[in-house]
Chains A and B, each alone.
Chain A
Amino acid sequence: MMDLGALKLRLRAQERNFQILVILISAILITFIVAPILSIILKAFITEKGISLSNFSLFFSNSYYREAVYSTFLTALFTVFGTVAIGVPLAYIMVRYEFPLKRLFSILILVPMIMPPFVGAIGLYKILGINGAVNLILVNYLNILDKPINFLFGTIELFRLGPYDKFILPYGIVLINTIHLFPLVYLNCAASLANIDPSLEEQAENLGARGFYLFRTVTFPLMRPGLMAGAVLVFIWTFSDLGTALIVHYFKYLPVIVFFKLYEIRAGNPSPVSYVIGVLMIITSFVALYISRKYVSLKRYVMLFAGGRVIKKVLKPRGVKLALVYVGLILLSLIALSPHIGLTLLAFSDKWVFSILPEGYTLRHMNQVLMSSLPYMTNSILYSSVAAVIDIIIGGFVAYVVTRRLAVGGDLLDLVATLPIAVPGVIFGLGYWALFYKVPLLDPLRYTPIILTISYSMRRLPYTVRVSYAGMLQIDEALEEASINLGATRITTFRKITLPLLVMNLFAGGIMAFVNAMIEVSTTFLLVLTARSAPATWFLYFVAFADPRNGLNMASAIGLIFVIIVATALIVVQKILGSRMGTVFRL
């Protein structure tokens, strides 16, 4: 006979341990995700006179800061326009049209995702720069332009409010971010579009609608949830993109101001300006997130339909239409690939001045960089892989708890764990300074590797949560109940039943987290102030400007190594997740 009393006790102890685990994970998430945000808000409002708006009035009375606000908003807004203008038609073509080489194009247009925009910006120097290939062709060969256009560094004053307030648009940042972020809009729109029940459009046709009227009244409104999600991601990204602005030397940009002001923190005198900017960013992100969430109910409804055959509507374009599709896609692929092409050429170019292509090629930069960047590359890989492991553990756990409704407030846990997708990296960097400066083991100044790893893991947590969540939904709860019914505890069940079924998803989510930790810029630049224990992104930026002669080449060589690592990881994920890969890029 089995001792039932002892078994019951053991079961109860395990259930208790489980609850403790829930509380522990919640505490970690609150400390490293919620608390930093709150501390920024607090520090912005608390002054020597108590709670007041004086920091804000100080900030807004300065025309330089005001113009930075305008510039940052304008840049984000125009980047949204740009990415939407490319992403929406692209999604329509890729989802609805069937044509030869479609698979190849579907891979090419995602290439921009495997590189942080600021690395891409370096790659674009010799292509879109003032002496770059495009300008050379336009001015010297085709004689279309009198003088070159400053695609990357250029700015334009859109209008002026009063005598001081200039609305300046740094269109170089818009251009670079549009090239890099249009896949986000495309992926989200394509997902929405593919989910539209074909009968919704057929019904409209049946009642007499067609062509653009049909698109305007039915198709487009139904793909709006995806469009909004993509647009919001692009907006938040651009709004808080530190790297690109630094690379194109445009400093009237909110994240850049936070970056430069951090040196004041080092001197023990944190700038209230940074916190004000932090609050502006938090508000903007949350408003944007709220707007996009309003469309989620619609999204659910569209996908809710049960029954009926789903006959995907696939059109085969012919003649002029097909030609236009090809021209558009080839052009877009070229644009999407241009940063990578530029980066590769730069990495191996011997001499590249006033010519469309380099005048000679060399392995010099690559050799030099392979040695010197090794410790930084090692740091990057170390931090990112530890962060990925943390994400796998926490992400898998959160998804399990939430999908199986095992803890009170599970939805809140899920919300907090996926929040970082909408919280700018700058906020993490700033918040960690505000909260952990001079805190043992967490001080960014003294314990950079620890806090950097934590920041990476929190920033990329949504990837593992998302992917494991999707995986959990595919595991029938009855499989677990059968195990519990036979006498296993929840923890044993998780280990023996759930985990083996979930492991591939977790692994894929972990690699996504790793990849994105590798290319993380904002938190890296904000938390790492010295070369000691810096990761490779930091070194890349440092190299690019430290050596005026070969800096760009060497930075490109580092960037290329980066791209290779990241691309390899993504191919692995693609192999695992297949068509479900899109889920990790969505809001």
Chain B
Amino acid sequence: MVRVKLVNVTKRFGEVVAVNKVNFEVKEGELFTLLGPSGCGKTTTLRLIAGFYKPDEGEIYFDDELMNDIPPHKRNTGMVFQNYALWPHMNVFENVAYGLKLRNMPPPKVIKKVKAALELVGLKGKAQRIPSQLSGGEQQRVALARALVIEPRVLLLDEPLSNLDAKLRLRVRNEIRKLQKKLGITTIYVTHDQEEALSISDRIAVMNQGRILQIGTPEEIYIFPKDLFVADFIGITNFIPCTIVSYDESKKEAVVKLGNMQLKVPSVYNKVDAGEEALLAVRPENIKIHKLEEAPKPYLEGKIDLVTFLGRVIRYEVIYDNYTLKVEAPRTDMRSIKEGEKVALTIDPLAVRVFKANKK
């Protein structure tokens, strides 16, 4: 088990800066996720750690050992590729044994270890199958076993679930998490799926356009996004223009004006000035809908445009001042609110974030 540390790592492809001054440290035994839209540089970062690319600037460390000039075949990382990369001309056993043979392990020990690895991922008795005879989920597990069997210093997973169907994805996701905890192996996980990232990670680094925007636990990332992009990318967020009334930089607190409401908002990380137009971000579950006559003041007046039944919750689309806001209420909260009806909206100021508007 190792710590993985990236210091100011930059990678360019021609004119394009794929990875831009990236810094992070993955702790021993941690599951660390690189999350971002496609083309954000997350896979490039992973491949830099695996050694398939050399950084143009910066350093990569495993513990205190500088890895920059170590070729990929000497890094002892176990990588699981997005498409599993199982060799079609070898059976399951040969696929998994490949790395062990390269380590000059005596055959009896190879057999023992491969068997153990296949058992670990629940593929006992499938050693003689060839990859094309396996289901997607099984292929995925062969790839995992092949990466784990060499006892790598760090496990690298590149979108390992993207080729599985939705139900299987949930199951394998949990299996990977349990296995990772059981083995206590340092793991770097790449995904574009924010829900997957939130559910599986110890910590997440959100990336966009080659930069890391925020690193934090899933809770931190979801509740306290430090950046407009992070707030937009993780979950569903409403953005409403508002005006800054005052800003207290030491407390990171701002008072903003929205319609006839004044809200005192905590955790404002962007520096904003009084009188400035800013963006208020609020998640659908943090807006409450009231009948006009029952509403506590102050409130925003809106008109229901669409009511969607989603099972667990009801989603409302409410028109407020030319903006369509998404609002979610639990099903039990179901009242006779109809499309076209005028309603009052209230917002919990503690659940609101404020960002500088010119960033988007």
Contact = CB atoms under 8 A, between A and B. Distances in A.
A514 to B, nearest CB: 38
B83 A204 contact: no
A202 B75 CA distance: 13
A208 interface: yes
- Which of B43, B77, B81, B150: most chain A CB closer than 10 A? B81
Contacts of A307: 82-83, 159, 162-163
Contacts of A202: 50, 52, 72, 79, 81, 85
B77 A206 contact: yes
Given A208-B150, A217-B98, A203 B103 contact: no
B14 interface: no
Contact of A206 (B73, B87, B89, B163): B73
B131 A301 contact: yes
Contact of A207 (B52, B88, B98, B158): B98
B85 A203 contact: yes
A204 B147 CA distance: 10
A200 interface: yes
Contacts of B74: 208
A298 interface: yes
A206 B78 contact: yes
- Which of A200, A208, A209, A298: most chain B CB closer than 10 A? A208
Nearest to B43: A309
Question: Interface size bucket, B side?
Answer: 20 to 34
A583 interface: no
A302 B88 contact: yes
A205 B73 contact: yes
A536 B85 CA distance: 53
B98 A210 contact: no
Contacts of A305: 83
B310 interface: no
A206 B50 contact: yes
A298 to B, nearest CB: 6
Contacts of B50: 202, 206
A222 B73 contact: no
Interface string B121-165: 000000000011000000000000011001000000011001100
A207 B146 contact: yes
B166 interface: no
Interface in A183-224: 197, 199-200, 202-210, 213, 217-218, 221-222, 224
Contacts of A205: 52, 71-73
Contacts, number: 83
A210 B82 contact: no
Given A197-B83, A208-B150, A306-B163, A222 B77 contact: no
A100 interface: no
A3 to B, nearest CB: 46
Contact of A210 (B73, B132, B158): B73
B79 A222 contact: no
B102 A209 contact: yes
Given A209-B98, A222-B88, A222-B89, A203 B81 contact: yes
- Which of A203, A210, A218, A298: most chain B CB closer than 10 A? A203
A308 B143 CA distance: 15
B77 A308 contact: no
Contacts of B82: 199, 307-309
B99 interface: yes
Contacts of A221: 87, 89
Interface in B23-81: 43, 50, 52, 71-79, 81
Interface residues of A, number: 27
Nearest to A302: B88
Contacts of B83: 197, 199, 305-308
Contacts of B131: 301
B88 A203 contact: no
Contacts of B132: 297, 301
Contacts of A308: 81-83, 158-159
Contacts of B159: 307-308
A209 B102 CA distance: 7
Given A202-B52, A307-B163, A208 B89 contact: no
- Which of A221, A222, A224, A309: most chain B CB closer than 10 A? A309
B73 A200 contact: no
B88 A208 contact: no
A298 B89 contact: yes
Contacts of A208: 73-74, 76, 99, 102-103, 150
Interface in B177-234: none
B150 A207 contact: yes
Interface in A331-345: none
Contact of A301 (B88, B158, B163): B88
A221 B83 CA distance: 19
A201 to B, nearest CB: 9
A298 B98 contact: no
B85 A207 contact: no
Given A206-B78, A206-B79, A209-B73, A200 B85 contact: yes
A217 B88 CA distance: 12
A306 B163 CA distance: 8
A326 B146 CA distance: 39
B224 to A, nearest CB: 32
A203 B89 contact: no
A305 B163 CA distance: 10
Contact of B98 (A204, A222, A302, A306): A204
Contacts of A217: 98
Nearest to A309: B43
Nearest to B163: A307
- Which of B43, B85, B102, B159: most chain A CB closer than 10 A? B85
Nearest to B103: A208
B301 to A, nearest CB: 47
A309 B52 CA distance: 14
A291 to B, nearest CB: 16
B71 A203 contact: no
A225 to B, nearest CB: 10
B71 A200 contact: no
Nearest to B52: A202
Contacts of A302: 88
- Which of A204, A206, A221: most chain B CB closer than 10 A? A206
Contacts of A218: 87
Contacts of A213: 102
Contacts of B52: 202, 205
Given A208-B99, A301-B131, A199 B72 contact: no
Contacts of A301: 88, 131-132
Nearest to B88: A301
A383 B199 CA distance: 70
Contacts of B99: 207-208
A205 B147 CA distance: 12
Interface in A408-452: none
B81 A298 contact: no
A219 to B, nearest CB: 11
A222 B81 CA distance: 18
B163 A200 contact: no
- Which of B52, B75, B83, B98: most chain A CB closer than 10 A? B83
Contacts of A203: 79, 81, 85, 87, 146
**In the complex, the 9 A-B pairs of residues with the closest C-beta atoms, listed nearest first:** A207-B99, A199-B85, A308-B82, A208-B102, A203-B85, A301-B88, A308-B83, A221-B89, A199-B81
Given A206-B73, A301-B132, 4 more contacts: A199-B83, A199-B85, A207-B102, A305-B83
28 contacts: A197-B85, A199-B83, A199-B85, A200-B85, A203-B79, A203-B81, A204-B87, A205-B71, A206-B50, A206-B72, A206-B73, A206-B77, A206-B78, A207-B98, A208-B73, A208-B99, A208-B102, A209-B73, A210-B73, A213-B102, A222-B88, A298-B88, A305-B83, A306-B163, A307-B162, A307-B163, A308-B82, A309-B43
